[in-house]
Copies of this chain bind each other. A is one copy, B any other.
Amino acid sequence: MTKKWTPASAADGVEQVLKILEGKWKLVILFHLFGGQVKRFSELEKAIPAITQKMLIQQLRQMEADGIVTRTIYHQVPPKVEYRLTDWGQELCPALDALLKWAENKQ
């Protein structure tokens, strides 16, 4: 059974999703982790040269709180922390693809 949407409630639902994607750097991070990739903090830093440490952490923490990213800490010296997508996070891929396809279709 499909939900009944009003313009307001549908807009609200999509807005919740956009909030998850909306940080300045979340999409780049996301696309670096798609396909089951696992990356250290420092690897993401190198992969996204323009990002600052503050921003990288901030975005990762929000993505973790939103349930699309997982954080794994290894208690070593120097420390090691790995980031990967949750299953749910991975499933964003086809949805974002739909947006890309739409954009390509501009008449």
- A residues engaging B (CB < 8 A)? 3, 5, 7-8, 10-11, 13-18, 21-22, 27-28, 30-32, 34, 47, 67, 86-88, 91-92, 94-96, 98-107
Contacts and interface: CB of A to CB of B under 8 A. Distances in A.
A60 to B, nearest CB: 15
Contact of A100 (B17, B30, B96): B17
A103 B13 contact: yes
30 contacts: A7-B28, A7-B31, A7-B32, A7-B47, A8-B28, A10-B27, A10-B96, A10-B100, A11-B28, A13-B100, A14-B27, A14-B96, A14-B99, A15-B27, A16-B103, A17-B100, A17-B102, A17-B103, A18-B18, A18-B21, A18-B27, A87-B107, A88-B102, A88-B106, A91-B102, A94-B98, A95-B98, A95-B99, A95-B101, A95-B102
